[in-house]
């Protein structure tokens, strides 16, 4: 039996004593983590998609920064299910995406996967040079 993203988020909000987030016009749920990250969650068929901006890429050393980040990414590929990608625009933004199968996913497994995703997001944020020290357990705040 497959869970639904709203059900998993309700369970998470209940367990963490947070208000339940309301979906936006596209059916996505948006929440802030530690005042640093804005994470969007949406359901696409039988999977939940987690997506957040890591940081903007700008400056004259853009190519050097991308090369360094790609070397790190290649060493982590087998261990990390997240996808690091660039979203276009005048100032490219590095983004992190993770797809979770909802089939057989319960609230505890969802919370563990979300925590691993947030830790990975923090890692890439620090690698980009835009973050401070890592926080062991990010606090979640729904808008």
CATH match of 5-141 with 2.40.160.40: no
The predicted structure's pLDDT at residue 15: 85
**Tokens, residue 15:** 């367990």
The predicted structure's pLDDT at residue 61: 65
Q: Tell me the pTM.
A: 0.79
Q: Decide: residue 29, CB within 10 A, 0-12 exposed, 13-18 middle, 19+ buried.
A: buried
How many H-runs (helices) and E-runs (strands) does the chain carry?
3, 6
| Residues 42-71: tens digit of each pLDDT | 999 999 999 999 888 776 667 777 787 777
The predicted structure's pLDDT at residue 143: 43
- How far apart (Å, rounded) are the C-alpha atoms in residues 89 and 40? 19
Domain segments of the chain: what residues? 5-141
Taking a C-beta distance cutoff of 8 angstroms, is the pair 73, 64 a contact?
A: no
């Amino acid at each position: 039996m497959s869970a639904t993203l709203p059900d998993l988020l309700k369970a998470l909000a209940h367990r963490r004593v947070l208000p339940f987030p309301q979906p936006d016009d596209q059916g996505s749920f948006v929440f802030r983590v530690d005042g640093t990250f804005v994470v969007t969650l949406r359901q696409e068929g039988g999977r939940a998609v987690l997506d957040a901006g890591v940081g903007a890429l700008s400056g004259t050393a853009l190519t050097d920064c991308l090369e360094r980040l790609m070397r790190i990414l290649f060493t982590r590929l087998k261990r990390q299910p997240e996808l690091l990608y660039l979203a276009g625009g005048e100032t490219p933004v590095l983004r992190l995406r993770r797809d979770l199968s909802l089939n057989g996913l319960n609230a505890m497994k969802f919370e563990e996967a979300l925590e691993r995703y947030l830790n990975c997001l923090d890692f890439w944020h620090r690698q980009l040079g835009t973050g401070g020290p890592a926080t062991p357990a990010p606090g979640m705040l729904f808008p």
